[in-house]
Structure 1
């Protein structure tokens, strides 16, 4: 994740290991905070019985394509779990960020 440096990919701020009382080792990742997911934004519009404005649909699609072009072309990663829950959105700036690389593979 430290390799990822793009405005449409969530950034890793810090990582550290911790252990439990049972001596299980955990890797903890501290990621940048983005307040919403695309899933919740879509649910909000549905709840209001409205459609998302086309300008936002286009803006989000453009940013998704930019993120995928970056991870595929620049660092050779296949995300493998793209869904609205894994697309973070800042509701004030409408900047979208791809997150959750738990299923990702290098190719």
Structure 2
């Protein structure tokens, strides 16, 4: 839900970020809600099919641990993305496995 008088910081931030480990904003638009004064901000982002949470859960269900090479590759990319956003004066504030997007075909992680 978007307050008409409030400039959305997430949109402002996403429009200026450009890094291979940050999910890219492709498009945005506003839509009306059911009530007259409801306005929704819709963000169209790159499609990334998995999350670190789901990948780790897959291995846990198979009674296996996440291979250390995955841990190293994912952490390296996470640290690169964090270094980039911090250099831009941005603090994420909600980093968790569910918010770390992963392409299983390429092992690319996006924050």
TM over 0.5: yes
Give the strand-richer structure, 1 or 2. Answer: 1
Matched with 1:50 is 64
Deviations 1:39-97 (A, max 9, x none): 00000000001111111110000000000000001x11000111000000001100000
Say yes or no: does 1:64 pair with 2:84: no
Q: Find out whether 1:91 has 2:104 as its counterpart.
A: yes
Q: Unaligned regions of 5+ residues in structure 2, if any?
A: 1-13
Distance 1:65 1:21 in 2: 41
In terms of fraction of residues, the more helix-rich structure is 2
Q: Provide structure 1 residue ranges, at least 5 long, that are not aligned to the other structure.
A: 99-107
Distance (whole Å) between structure 2 residues aligned to residue 72 and residue 21 of structure 1 = 38
Tell me how far apart the structure 1 counterparts of residues 93 and 26 of structure 2 sit (CA, whole Å).
23
Which segments of structure 1 move beyond 6 Å, counting only runs of 4 or more?
Answer: none
**Aligned length in residues:** 97
CA RMSD of aligned residues (A): 0.7
Q: Which residue of 1 aligns with 2:15?
A: 2
TM-score by length of 1: 0.88
- Give the whole-Å Cα distance in 1 for the aligned partners of 2:101 and 2:34: 33
In structure 2, the partner of 1:81 is 94
Question: How many Å separate the matches in 1 of 2:33 and 2:94?
Answer: 29
1:17 counterpart SS class: strand
